[in-house]
């Protein structure tokens, strides 16, 4: 469900960045709303759409806003 919204973001990222750079976007069915904070995006998104049916995406150039690396330590328990 959210995959479609993310693919829309990727396909239109350049134009969205020109218009909304630094904002948090709520994307649903190719409709975009922009907010200053992720909290505003979340609360306004949930007012309009059912949770789990829309994407909140930080709108910035490149892939850093949607690529994360997580590290963990190997721990042995005895």
Q: What is the pLDDT of residues 21-73, one digit of tens each?
A: 999 999 999 999 999 999 999 999 999 999 999 999 999 999 888 776 555 55
Domain boundaries, the chain: 2-58
Whole-number pLDDT of residue 1 = 66
Report how far residue 73's alpha carbon sits from residue 71's, in angstroms, rounded to the nearest whole number: 7
Report how far residue 60's alpha carbon sits from residue 57's, in angstroms, rounded to the nearest whole number: 9
More confident residue, 31 or 77: 31
């Amino acid at each position: 469900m959210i995959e479609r919204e993310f693919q829309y973001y990727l396909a239109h990222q350049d134009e969205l960045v020109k218009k909304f750079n630094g904002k948090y976007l709520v994307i649903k069915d190719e409709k975009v709303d922009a907010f200053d904070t992720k909290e505003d995006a979340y609360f306004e998104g949930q007012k309009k759409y059912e949770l789990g049916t829309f994407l909140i995406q930080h709108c910035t150039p490149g892939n850093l806003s949607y690529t994360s690396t997580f590290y963990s330590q190997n721990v042995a328990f005895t």
